[in-house]
Chain A
Amino acid sequence: MRASTAPLLTLPLDGGQSERLRQALAGLTPDQLQWVSGYAAGLAAAASVPAQAAAPSTLSDGANTLTVLYGSQTGNGKGVAERLAARAKEKGFGVSLQSLADYKPSQLKREVLLSFVISTHGEGEPPDDAELFHEYLFSKKAPTLAGIRYSVLALGDSSYINFCQTGRELDQRLADLGALRLQPLAECDVDYEEVADRWVGDVLARVPDLISATSPVPQLRAVTVAPRFDKNRPFHAEVLVNQKITGRHSSKDVRHIELSLEGSGLHYEPGDALAVIVRNPPALVQQLISAVGLDGATPVDVAGESLSLETALSEKLEITATSTGFLKAWAAYGSGELKSLLEQGDRAVLSELVDGHQVIDIVRRFPATVDAAGLASSLRKLGARSYSIASSQRANPDEVHLTVAAVRYDAFGSEHWGAASTHLADRLGEGDRVFVYVEPNSRFHLPADDSADIVMIGPGTGVAPFRAFVEERAERGAQGRNWLFFGDRTFGSDFLYQLEWQRHLKSGALARLDLAFSRDQSEKVYVQDRIRAQGKDLYEWIRSGASIYICGDSKHMAGDVEQALVDVIALHGNTGAAEAKARLKELRRDGRYQRDVY
């Protein structure tokens, strides 16, 4: 059935609307149409929930406080902000004073009364500490700020063309986002003291009635409504951020990716994974088509659906990861060499073929003649890829974050790509969308008891779920201590989320952080070495009830780390290796030793 034949006119839509809807639906597959119907239902349900019925968000510290935020390079603005905060305190108001560098933008929605002191630097640019906040505020992530009152003091130097630019932009943007100007923007030249003092006075004059009068704006909790999105009904999530988080000199390209879950009703726990449905690298699809000497337009059947070979190879079939099934099928199409290799049934040879070769490598190495249908039927269905969720939903209500290492490498004299990781890293820009669903992982969750300690071992991208763990426990105000072991190649370029860990250490959300950077010194150092070095303390933590979590590479890391744990238990619990292993088993059984390795 094609969308355009649906009797739209009977719907309660005016001509324009029904025409736009007709266009939007034209050419959708039945699957997609079904999804859209569900999506629309969801939106309707969400919209129909009356505001007062919504549960207000956990009581925000924005309520009844004056929040003073400053962006200051050389300290002038900081000084003014501190003066305002001090004088407001004297008058007995609740005040929270923060540098924009430390301020969590997600907090904005919860504010009541905001005062900004911000200077301009560079050629009309924000001061360093305000750069990211400024970027956020002007990005599509910026929330509406209805009901919030604000005032801005701009510091500048009129000998610059862009006098007080940043302050002016900020003042305007806040208004555009729906916030209410408490008083007109005040602009200071280099002799800023006088204007600043007057401004401080004006703010203080207005505070009294405001913070007693206003109460926090109630927040809509994400409302769960049918249909829930799941494996069969993946959610089309918008990409909010796609940011490389390895430095200039890194040998790797690791991305921090933020997706919007707004309106999806999707729920996840720290430790869960997100499944991502992707397309194969276009270049690789072309290479494969020409390698087998076929025409991409040739129609083929995949799961009862008829589409062009090109579409099938790009959207439906696995062409990167090789499978034994494919090898067998491919052998049947000709190459005696491959057939005999398989018949020897040597495991090493087989795994070398499967792990070390992508489909294109097999096709090139063992030429065979095959038609479009034959090729299609030999390939597995393109599977979704899983990524540990790197965010806490409590801390980021409408978002899910991932930490993705782009798989790119050279083999057999040509460039190779991983399908999903490069789709996310290279082919999805901010604003694009990707189909996802949550994969709950109950075997990798935080202890129910917030007072229990945890030890997290996550080198490389294995650190992703631990970012979620620490965020979550901080949000919950969990009392248990959090200890992280992280490792990668270099301190300078591969210290994933370094700034966040430093902040968590400062706030106490992270109790300990032990690091192993393998390539910073002549002898290689890995997390397992750090674990042994800290054995005494680690054993104490375990004895007093800490849970241990390992995430990351399954080929080497997981095994080496487990061995290190056994050694630590044996040494400091002075038992034999066998007993130590048994001890670890118990921990596993009691859910105090959990692994998520891949």
Chain B
Amino acid sequence: MSRILSDVERIKAASRHLRGTLAESLADAVTGALAEDDTQLSKFHGIYQQDDRDQRSERKRQRLEPAYSFMIRARVPAGICTPAQWLNMDRVATEKANGTIRLTTRQAFQLHGVIKSGLKAAIAGINREMMDTLAACGDVNRNVMAPTLYDLTDVHRQVQADARRLSDHLTPATNAYHEIWLDGTKLPLENDDRAADVEPIYGRTYLPRKFKSAFVVPPQNDTDIYSQDLGFIAIVENGQLVGYNVTVGGGMGMAHGEPETYPRLADILGFVTPDNILAVAEAVVTTQRDHGDRTNRKHARLKYTIDDRGIDWFRAEVVERSGVAVAAPRKFAFTSNGDVYGWQADAAGAWHYTLFIQNGRVADTGDRRLLAGLRRIAALHHGEFRLTPNQNLTISSVRDEDRESIESLLTEFGIENELQASALRLNSLACVAFPTCGLAMAESERYLPSLIDTLEGHLIDAGLGNEPITIRMTGCPNGCARPYIGEIGLVGKGPGTYNLYLGAGFAGERLGCLYRENIGETEIIEALLPLFEAFGAARADGEHFGDFLVRTGVVREVTAGRNFHAAEVAHG
């Protein structure tokens, strides 16, 4: 394999800590786009250049450039957001973007359709409420996830606090962001030899690739801990948080027809106490920084570094760099990777309502008026909001006396869960895909809802109307909705066609296996129908769909990312 650094490495190195020529790009009135190199750097600022793919070929004929606009991703550590921040996001979305808010699979906000001339105002607007977009994307640690559920202990609050500590610790230190978007004062040019003190953790060229971390509290695996580069599984012993099992090397992305790329579930590195998480996390990050493959972006994630060198080598590096003795992992068990919907009470007796938001798109559509409804709720809500890893929203810490008024608003705007969701829908995820995602090969967010309409009927016929089955669709193999750990995984291949993956674990503990390749809606239904019927008839007590398909040999068990495709071949 070539030893030449990938082009993005050149761009990062020359960028003077992520400045590049962004300022000039913004000033260029002849195009709605950024200079090509800047489109890489903008990501580190939470900004993706996109274009309306519905208009692409039409505009080429019209001798017009693509209809460029920008997607802005705002970081929301642990998914915690105040009502004021929600209202602010709503305002920016309405004034500067396409009038919808997108809740992501990493507990963050996305706005779409911001045009270049409105970009600065939008970013400044988001920052108005102490929320930023720095490092929401790019080759750095992304938004740190943490569970949004509540139980009758105080563990979740401690875990969320740890998640925010980690987030702060791994946030890039460059001042470029303030300089460009907030007219912050220019620091003396951060030149190469001072690189170290500018970015003590990342250095001049940051990480070889994106990096993702999350926390989780068993038995719920809502943050899909095994899909993350770095994970912390809370270990609770008689009601107390004693520490975390650290996981490393998870990731979903792959490319069609390139078996050397594959989704991979994380390994458990070992157990550490809460006071050591920052040291261990930093050691994991710097090991990847120094040993990750910077020559090939498709082979640059931590999961490949670990598979190439072995987990034992990796553990030794981390122990060496952190000076923390990583102990043997402690016991824990997961039951599901979904959200728990509806009302729950917590230790302090406060209420939390988890609201289903189809594919995370907060918009007013017909008599389901999510945007308007949540605007009203935010206006009277005294607690907080929690963005969930399953694209949903928890209205959090509701006082007894407010519960009723919130319930009536949920009804008034036609958005409470009962009004919209079957068990299958409640367990569905779809990535954004068309028309904004530049990498989409097939529809996803715009298509899955109607596919579910059809499948629901068949499930009811099979007596599975209330059976929770996880179904996840993405418009390409990058896996943004973590489809390889959905019991039914649909991954876009081309217009209207998908690969169908089956047999993943209900708690995200096992990868699915390719079952059918390159098929359209009719074949998808033809493929699933008999399996639903068999499942309805022959399932063991409490057995989940994915487990059933593996037990009955419909698909082979995928035991590791490395043989994800091997399984394909074997299956034929």
Contact = CB atoms under 8 A, between A and B. Distances in A.
A75 to B, nearest CB: 10
- 10 tightest Cβ-Cβ pairs between the two chains A and B: A190-B257, A245-B62, A499-B63, A498-B64, A497-B63, A245-B63, A159-B518, A498-B65, A515-B29, A247-B64
B60 A502 contact: no
Interface in A230-256: 243-248, 256
Contacts of B559: none
A501 interface: yes
Interface string B50-79: 000001111111111101000000000000
Interface string A503-523: 001000000010100001000
Given A128-B56, A248-B55, A496-B63, 19 more contacts: A122-B495, A123-B494, A132-B60, A157-B256, A159-B256, A159-B518, A191-B257, A247-B59, A247-B62, A247-B64, A247-B67, A491-B29, A492-B32, A498-B64, A499-B64, A499-B65, A502-B31, A505-B30, A520-B117
A501 B59 contact: no
With a 10 A CB-CB cut-off, give which of B30, B59, B64, B494 has the most chain A CB atoms: B64
B517 interface: yes
B237 interface: no
Given A513-B30, A515-B30, A492 B63 contact: no
B29 A245 contact: no
A243 B59 CA distance: 11
A495 interface: yes
B401 interface: no
A243 B64 contact: no
B441 to A, nearest CB: 9
A160 interface: yes
Which of B57, B63, B117 has the most C-beta atoms of chain A within 10 angstroms of its own C-beta?
A: B63
A132 B61 contact: yes
Interface of B: 29-32, 55-65, 67, 115, 117, 256-258, 493-496, 517-518
Interface string A481-504: 000000000011101111111100
26 contacts: A122-B494, A123-B495, A128-B57, A128-B60, A132-B60, A157-B257, A159-B493, A159-B517, A160-B494, A190-B257, A190-B258, A243-B62, A243-B63, A244-B62, A245-B63, A247-B62, A248-B58, A492-B115, A495-B64, A500-B63, A501-B30, A502-B31, A505-B30, A513-B30, A515-B29, A520-B117
A102 interface: no
Contacts of B493: 159
Contacts of A191: 257
B518 A160 contact: yes
Contacts of A505: 30
Interface in A112-131: 122-123, 128, 131
Contacts of A131: 57, 60
B404 to A, nearest CB: 44
A492 B51 CA distance: 12
Nearest to A160: B494
A78 to B, nearest CB: 12
Interface in A451-503: 491-493, 495-502
Contact of A491 (B32, B63, B517, B518): B32
Contacts of A493: 64
A533 to B, nearest CB: 12
Contacts of B58: 248
A500 B30 CA distance: 11
Interface in A70-124: 122-123
A243 B552 CA distance: 59
A535 B325 CA distance: 70
Interface string A166-196: 0000000000000000000000011100000
A513 B31 CA distance: 11
A245 B60 CA distance: 9
A311 B30 CA distance: 48
A399 B230 CA distance: 63
Interface in A187-207: 189-191
Contacts of B63: 243, 245, 256, 496-500
A159 B67 contact: no
